[in-house]
Amino acid sequence: MIRAEVALEDTWDLSTLFKNDKAWNEGLAAYEKMAERIPSFKGTLSTSADCLSAYLEFFRDISILEEQLGVYSGLRQSEDEGDSTARTMTGRFVMAAAKVQAASAWAVPEIQAIPDTDIRRFLAEPRLAEFAVYLAKLLRYKPHILSASEERMLALHSEAENAVSEAFSVLTNVDIDFGSVDTPEGQRPLSQSTWSLFMESSDRELRKQAYTTFYRHFDLHKTTIATLYGAQVKQNVIKARIRNFSCARAAALFPDKVDEAVYDNLIATVHKNLSTLHRYYTLRKRILKLDELRHYDVYTPLVPVAARKTKWNEAVDLIAAALAPLGREYVDVLTGGLCARWADRYENKGKRSGAFSSGSFTGAPYILMNYKEDSIRDVFTLAHEGGHSMHSWYSARSNPFMHYSYTIFEAEVASTFNEELLFQYLLKTAADPALKRYLINKRIDEILATLYRQTMFAEYEKRTHELEETGNPLTVDVLRNEYRQLLIQYFGPEMVLEEMSDLECLRIPHFYNAFYVYKYATGISAALALARRVLSGGAQEREDYFAFLKSGGSRFPLESLKVAGVDMSSAEPIQAACDIFGRLVDQLETN
């Protein structure tokens, strides 16, 4: 189905951002016109509270418009990636935003150059109240901000910073032809996206064929890809040194005010619980009736998908029932939005795959779906994205623009929290034992993928950056050796690794966004803890959770989660998540 054939009620209504493309073009023109004012503020910010406030009010207004422009053009492009009009809009916006970033590169150093006594005096002025959090966070960076000319050079270079990751993406998604595999339905193309589907097949020979074919192509390009990743790590290290951080990891964790000990604590706690993970792989081997557990055997479901058809409105009703412990406002706003065109519901030709939520300060918190009625997974995906959207909804209504936006560290908590409530509701109400068994297996694999596997990835990133920082070249052999050690450690004695298994380290796109994946592991740990706290608690526990949703960017992530009732600086939430995983394995083993 092409985009023009999709029913209007099944698409999102982007008019909360711009009425149409014409209005967007007018908005872009206004944005570019506003940008002409940027030089007029230069050199004035330290003169008085009024001058600083005037600039910040201007910066707020142009940033709100910038967000609207970026979200609208991005959503329009996701409707049909082949739509040249939408792609042109995105390109025009990116170019305009890069110019604004370069033109205003002087502002942060100028603010940070204001003497401490003066900035304290300025902050006492009521006019600056809405910028207090923004300024406090900005001033944290003072030891890491360079001169205005140096900042301008870095800003001009910002567009080129993505060249390495873009080259990796183009190489692995476009230039490499992974060929095809033989299936009972005939030849089927093999790609980065279809590979995961083949790995879930119940046909072991098909899994083996797809696995071997897939990694054979990575083997052919291993030196090039290793060079790209090595360049990315080197770039991370150099940038951290330029900004006077002790290491690349410290630089990556600094914006969230997360101590490196939190990262290390995650790895150490997961290490203590690897025996439970190994026990699951032993169970997997037994249920699949295998003589040897291979790397291509770890993704296929152990329990057949329970037959269930759930129409869109039925899914919305199911999610409403599952989220009832959060109260009427939360449920009514979410379900109202899902039925009133917050979401772009179904697949069409050229539409971006997968799902996401895209919230903004002024517009609705939109959701992209490719919903399929025969997939119970898509009901969970809708609940997940609904969690993101409601987080955005509460944040935007509880904070001024300058600190309404929450971090990725917190984002995965709100989404996974909703999934856990849906899981618990279905497990409690499902009459079909097959569905219950399927749900347990599904939840095990989700926790494994999000907690254990992302921690393994996080440990790999830690190792590779430490090697670069201590002067050890990241050759393809070095990368593979480090990764193979982790595969052996995490998969345990039951796993028989292939010679090419360690090539997996070359295919993970998240590695080009350094020290990001650990947030998935901490996020699911926090979400599981908070879900149990809300379900077993009362009004106070629910209000604590809403305090977290409403925090936006007014607190640092660990602080906002502590308000909700979970301390991520301790090992307790990680250990509790590992314990939950262990109990689910027990249930699967006995059912």
Concatenating the DSSP letter of every residue in 13-78 gives -GGGT-SSHHHHHHHHHHHHHHHTTHHHHTT-TTT-HHHHHHHHHHHHHHHHHHHHHHHHHHHHHH
As a whole number, mean pLDDT of residues 317-324 equals 98
Cα distances from 390 to residues 14, 311, 337, 582, in angstroms, run 17, 22, 10, 31
- Say how far apart CA 454 and CA 447 lie, in whole Å: 10
Does residue 590 surpass a pLDDT of 90? no
Does residue 430 surpass a pLDDT of 90? no
Task: Kindly state the tokens that stand for 486.
Answer: 């982790």
pLDDT in tens, 253-271: 999 999 999 999 999 999 9
- Choosing from 385, 412, 459, 461, which is the catalytic residue? 385
Q: Three-state DSSP class for 307?
A: coil
pLDDT in tens, 359-376: 999 999 999 999 999 888
366 φ, ψ (degrees, to nearest 5)? -70, 155
- Say how far apart CA 516 and CA 503 lie, in whole Å: 21
Task: Kindly state the tokens that stand for 471.
Answer: 């002067």
Residue scoring higher pLDDT (302 or 305): 302
The pLDDT of residue 192 is: 81
| Four-CA torsion 332, 337, 339, 341, nearest 10 degrees | 170
Residues 6+ apart with CB under 8 A from 531: 417, 420, 421, 424
Q: Three-state DSSP class for 222?
A: helix
Q: How many residues does the chain have?
A: 591
As a whole number, mean pLDDT of residues 58-65 equals 98
Cα distances from 19 to residues 14, 24, 25, in angstroms, run 7, 8, 11
**Are 521 and 450 a contacting pair, CB within 8 Å?**
yes
The pLDDT of residue 136 is: 93
- Per cent of the chain over pLDDT 90 is 86
Q: Domains for the chain: give ranges and CATH numbers.
A: 3-161 (1.20.140.70), 245-306+432-591 (1.10.1370.20)
pLDDT in tens, 8-51: 999 999 999 999 999 999 999 999 999 999 999 999 999 999 99
Report the candidate in 234, 215, 218, 217 with the shortest Cα–Cα distance to residue 164: 234
- Say how far apart CA 143 and CA 127 lie, in whole Å: 27
Alpha helical stretches, state H, 451-571: 453-469, 476-491, 518-536, 539-551, 557-564
Does residue 426 surpass a pLDDT of 80? yes
**Are 576 and 529 a contacting pair, CB within 8 Å?**
yes
The pLDDT of residue 482 is: 98
How would residue 304 be classed by pLDDT, with cut points 50, 70 and 90? confident
How would residue 252 be classed by pLDDT, with cut points 50, 70 and 90? very high
Q: Three-state DSSP class for 400?
A: coil
- Say how far apart CA 329 and CA 405 lie, in whole Å: 21
Q: What average pLDDT is seen over the chain?
A: 94
**Are 20 and 84 a contacting pair, CB within 8 Å?**
no
Does residue 193 surpass a pLDDT of 80? no
As a whole number, mean pLDDT of residues 471-499 equals 97
The pLDDT of residue 420 is: 97
The pLDDT of residue 458 is: 98
| Four-CA torsion 276, 281, 286, 290, nearest 10 degrees | -160
- In what helix (H) or strand (E) does residue 7 lie, and over which residues does it extend? none
Whether the model pTM is above 0.85: yes
Beta-ladder partners of 188: 181
Pairing of strands 293-294, 495-496: parallel
- Say how far apart CA 274 and CA 279 lie, in whole Å: 9
Residue 161 annotated among the catalytic residues of the structure: no
